Amino acid sequence: MSTIVIAGSGKMARSIGTWLIDRNNEVIFYSRNEKRADDLRKYITRHVNRLQRYDPSASVKDPAFAHPESVSALVNCDIIIESVEEGIEAKKAVISAIIQRTGMPRLLLSNSSSILPSSIHDRCAGLHFFYPVQTARLVECVVPATYGTIERNALIEFVKDNCMDAIVQNEHNAFISNRLILPLQNECFRLLSLGYDRSFVDRATVSCLNGIGILTAIDSIGPQTVLNALIQYRSRMAPEEAGNFSYMHNGLETAIRRHVFPAAPAMKNPESAKTYDNLPFHFLCLFITSCLYFLENGWVDSNNLDLLLDRVYGAEETLSDTVQKTGEDSIRAYIEEQLKSTGIVYFRKIRSKPTELMGVNG
């Protein structure tokens, strides 16, 4: 097994670390904050003690802890996984601080959910985990163009050795998981701005393809983290598409400033309340369309998409089953109606037949 440095002390770093400890890797946690490092040490120690208490036969290597003043423990690491806050300067700084003293590891990896790895370091690849790691057991491997076959194979082998499945991407189609639900997230904030009730909107996003409310998920991840990621995604969009996501951007900024999601204003037209009954169908059609759009562009195949929907979003059925049950014609007609009334580009026409995109005969 590997000697792995995990740079970070938040819940994602903890989840990654405990998973790798349980797979008998030698793990070293690196934290820049003394207080958080102490909390991290206590948390990881409890985890190891609990594991050994319930399974005395478990072979677990005691983790080590390091901070900027005690980097000697890092010298022999062969893998670095960066998992600090979602900001490019913070990620660059922590990686630079470590490799300045340890040299370049065999694999330099970033857990970023939005920042292209080559913009962090020219030897960096993406290894985006999902929280909690123990439940998802899935990663997005973002392989930059500078990676050769040997490095790419080493990354995939590391993932497999640690009992995880991988969706392998390049920097053109990176971060499929988060980009897939951007239209749903933005649509939530657009409806809030129109006066829809937050709890109704949140519940309406739950479907057979998505097991958790979109706004609830944003609360759990943290509005600042989601906003940081959105800024990265918008920077790589065409201007006409990026402009559509101002509802989400402004809504997140308000949530961060007020420490709460913006309260919905009174509806200008009370009759609009009748559309609440249609919200679940509205969000389901939008999510299906987003999935089909990704398939149509070749950014993901149907098998990996269903794996993502299952492991990350808690889908109860496959995309093809959902499309068949909902009806292709009904979905298409509704999305075309929404595009005509709103002009928002994510209500887009899918040129190909859904059955062809999903590899379904019929």
What are the DSSP calls for 204-246, one per residue? HT--SS--S-HHHHHHHH-HHHHHHHHHHHHHTS-HHHHGGGH
Q: Check for a shared fold between 3-174 and 177-357.
A: no
Residue whose C-alpha is closest to residue 252's, from 220, 228, 233: 228
Asked if residue 111 lies in contact with residue 127, where contact means CB atoms within 8 angstroms, the answer is: yes
Query: Under CATH, what is the fold of the domain 177-357?
Result: N-(1-d-carboxylethyl)-l-norvaline Dehydrogenase; domain 2 (1.10.1040)
What is d(CA 109, CA 124) in angstroms, rounded to the nearest whole number? 5
Environment class of residue 16 by beta-carbon count within 10 Å: exposed (0-12), middle (13-18) or buried (19+)? Answer: buried
pTM, two decimal places: 0.91
For the chain, the 3-state helix, strand and coil shares in percent, each to the nearest 5, are: 55, 10, 35
Longest dimension (CA), the chain: 67
- CA distances to 87, 251, 265, 330 from 257, in Å: 19, 10, 18, 40
| pLDDT attached to residue 71 | 60
Environment class of residue 351 by beta-carbon count within 10 Å: exposed (0-12), middle (13-18) or buried (19+)? Answer: exposed
Query: Under CATH, what is the fold of the domain 3-174?
Result: Rossmann fold (3.40.50)
| pLDDT attached to residue 302 | 94
Lowest-pLDDT range of 76-80, 179-183, 262-266: 262-266
Confidence band for 290, pLDDT divided at 50, 70 and 90 = very high
Confidence band for 261, pLDDT divided at 50, 70 and 90 = low
Domain definitions of the chain by residue range? 3-174, 177-357
Environment class of residue 248 by beta-carbon count within 10 Å: exposed (0-12), middle (13-18) or buried (19+)? Answer: buried
| pLDDT attached to residue 357 | 87
Integer-rounded Cα radius of gyration of the chain:
22
